Amino acid sequence: MATLIFDNTLSGHHLEYLNHIYKGAIQRTDEKFVFAVPRQEWNNVREKCEWPQADNIRWVMLDDYECQDVSKGSMLVRCFKLSRLVKRVALNENVSKIKLISLAGVIPFLPLMLPSEVKLSGIIYKIYLRAPKKGFRGLIDKFRYTIMARSRLMDKVFILNDPRSAERLNKIYDSRRFISLADPVPQPDMNEVRNLRPILNIPSSATVFLHFGSMDKRKGTLEILRALNVMPKQEHFNRYFIFAGRVGDNLKDQFYSLAKDAESKGAHIIIRDEFCSYELLHSLCHTSDVILIPYLLTDLSSGALGYAALHHKPVIGPASGLIGELINDNNLGLTLSCINQEMLAKSFSVDIPYEESMYAEKNSIYLFTKTILDS
């Protein structure tokens, strides 16, 4: 029987993770896999990654309208609709294992709906222990984790890049199901990595700060621009700031307004408002001196940490939450007790000592795919 790899969206890191798992699956020629993805979204993004042909892989195209519809309604309604969709695909394909790129959306219903011979695993990104809710939502969260720890249909629950929470959850629920999962760092072809300073007209003596990925409020994107607006004009000399990634529609007006104001005060700003390939991101990291991850929401991991470690570049980020723990535990850079424009502006003038770290090696694609596919 086959293993179902299911995802109802391919936005953000989902496509990247799906591709890593796919490349791991094609190496296991004695195992069968079914990959289920939304049809139109797949057609739009599939060319962003390589998908070698393999005889042990079968694709199932999901209806895009149904995939979008599962995101409508209350939390429990969304959970029920998504669980029903996963169950239907699993039964149609006669699979024995289900592995979800995102598990939280089907808990608590899916483990209660599946046949007893099917085992369920998936990735959890945000742990309720780091941002506990109160009232009814808090009770629901505890019930969901109880289902994950106790249900006979649950196999493994992968906690993304958070070994402390995985250990704590196992103690709370007297379980061994919660496993810390590597946050995979895409390995570049070093022959393709370039110093982009000549192309971007950046002097070789300049200090380059890079902020990449999708631009939104929770990542502190606007705080960086606000910091540039309060910096004394003389401190802008020989400092360049690169923003690489799509700017969210709800952020565009404010983003470009702040960027224009900062430039009028002497800031050197380079914007690549687009989806950036892995190759471009690696070249940008190679070009830069400091990676900026001043996240306001700190209870999730950040893939930028892996890129920074791989290219031996320090980061500036929050001291709190999971991100702060990862930076401090692995000596990845400077943490700030408060993310605001004043603190950030001061940090841009600080020499950040960098220590060699094994972070990138501990978060390899190989460990990511092996952990998921071995379960």
**3-state class of 68 per DSSP?**
helix
pLDDT tens track of the chain, all 375 residues? 899 999 999 987 899 999 999 999 999 999 999 999 999 999 999 998 899 999 999 999 999 999 989 989 998 999 999 999 999 999 999 999 999 999 999 999 999 999 999 999 999 998 888 877 788 788 888 899 999 999 999 999 999 999 999 999 999 999 999 999 999 988 888 888 999 999 999 999 999 999 999 898 999 999 999 999 999 989 999 999 999 999 988 899 999 999 999 999 999 999 999 988 888 999 999 999 999 999 998 888 898 999 999 999 999 999 999 999 999 999 999 999 999 999 999 999 998 877 888 898 889 999 999 999 998
CB 278 within 8 A of CB 272: no
Domains and CATH numbers, the chain: 2-181 (3.40.50.2000), 197-362 (3.40.50.2000)
Please state the pTM of the whole predicted model. 0.87
Q: Output the CA–CA distances (angstroms, integers) from residue 95 to 106, 111, 191, in the order listed.
A: 17, 15, 41
CB atoms within 10 A of CB 84: 15
> Do the Cβ atoms of 207 and 235 come closer than 8 Å?
no
The span from the CA of 190 to the CA of 102, in Å, is 31
pLDDT of residue 39: 96
The predicted pLDDT at position 129 comes to 84
Backbone angles phi, psi at 106, to 5 degrees: -110, 5
Beta bridge partners of 243: 211, 271
| Per-residue model confidence (pLDDT) at position 132 | 75
Q: What is the pLDDT of residue 214?
A: 87
Name the DSSP class of 201. Answer: T
N residues, the chain: 375
Q: Which residues neighbour 116 within 8 Å (Cβ) at sequence distance 6 or greater?
A: 152, 153
CA 223 – CA 137 distance, rounded (Å): 30
| CA 299 to the chain's CA centroid | 12
**What pLDDT does 262 receive?**
97
- 208, 242 contact by CB (below 8 A): yes
Of 65, 59, 105, 71, which is closest to residue 86 (Cα–Cα)?
105
Expressed in percent and rounded to 5, the helix, strand and coil fractions of the chain are 45, 20, 35
